[in-house]
Amino acid sequence: MSPRRTRRDRSQRGVVLLVVLFFVLLLVSGVATFAKRSIIDAMISRNRDDFSSASALARGGVRLAQALLIQDRINEEAADVPVIDTHTELWARVDKVPLQSGRGSLKLRIEDSGSRLNLNALFQMDEVGTLVPSDMTEPFLLAFLEKIISELPVPPGEKALYDVRELTNNLIDWIDPDEERVRGGPENSYYQGQDPPYRAANRALLSVDELQLIEGFDQTLVKALRAYVTVYPYAPTGCQIVSRGCGVNLNTAPPHVLATLYYDDGVGLRLADEDLVRDILKIRQDGGIICSPDHNIDGCTPVHDLVANAIFPAPTYSTHVFLVKAEARVGQVRRTVEATIDRSDPAVPRLLSWRVR
């Protein structure tokens, strides 16, 4: 065999090897792409299923909360004692109970509306049927908003941009029925200059989100207020029955809300100090309850033993309105439903709000 022929054969074999390697590489690449696509499709399909399961589980959590609240209401009607909602009841402790369903988990939290400050309770109906601020509304809002702004997680320079008096006046203007500013001038000048333009509501607040429509109440401030306030029970005629109250429930409110209790300590009007908050929490931790002087219940501490003068707005001790947060997790998917439930009629509980995140 000639050297030239040998070199030609070797060259041909080399070309064939390259061609074979090319097609092997092409085949491997195709298989890898197909496998990757199959994995992605499977993950998408599974996430879609997990999303549906998580959504259903969160909605089921709200239904479970409704059942617990209705049963509690039935038990209250059957008992021949004054009703006081406390942090020891089952609905208040349900967040301590782990709830599992297959691959999913549910975290359920129920709060009575009295665990937060009802902004609508700061107003009252006057003799001609108009919703107006009380004598305590302005001084309370000044002290309350100053406290909230001082605790904002922003630099001091940004806090200084908030004018507490302007915010107070703007909130009052938003709710009171006239179209004049507290400080004088047309009420809607700022709102008509927005895009799109709108007008002050001149009614009770319908949601906490509505605060962002009020001049000066930006997203940062409203986010901070959420932990403190509610608009329930909705009080279109103000907090009229002082003995019943529609303010904070001293038996369920967390410490930061208890710190917003407003009263005359004999020297002047003030928000609650640490000693008062500590005394309230100590009574609750020892298994006691705080009640109004009208309640005739063994083992309760009358509120006047803690605060000699009236608290503004008048505390509440029971409610039919509850805030429910159901957070479901299935795999890596999380769905949260926040709802407000009115159980005043156990046969037909009303859903006042529904928010999905």
Cis peptide before 196, with omega less than 30 degrees from 0? yes
Average pLDDT for residues 83-104, to the nearest whole number? Answer: 87
Quick one: residue 105, left, alpha or beta (phi over 0 = left, psi -120 to 50 = alpha)? beta
Average pLDDT for residues 318-342, to the nearest whole number? Answer: 93
Radius of gyration of the chain (CA): 31
Task: List, for residues 15-35, the tens digit of each pLDDT value.
Answer: 666 666 666 676 666 666 655
Q: Is 322 in contact with 340 (CB distance < 8 Å)?
A: yes
Query: Does the pLDDT at position 98 exceed 90?
Result: no
The CA distance from 205 to 119, in Å, is 8
Q: How many CA atoms lie within 13 A of 212 on its CB side?
A: 10
CA 3 to chain centroid = 89
Query: Residues 60, 62, 66, CA angle at the centre, nearest 5°?
Result: 115
Q: Is 55 in contact with 328 (CB distance < 8 Å)?
A: yes
Task: List, for residues 158-180, the tens digit of each pLDDT value.
Answer: 999 999 999 999 999 999 999 99
Burial class (CB in 10 A: 0-12, 13-18, 19+), 68: buried
Count of H-run helices and E-run strands, the chain: 9, 14
Q: What percent of the chain has pLDDT over 70?
A: 84
User: What's the whole-number average pLDDT of the chain?
Assistant: 87
pLDDT at residue 234, as a whole number: 74
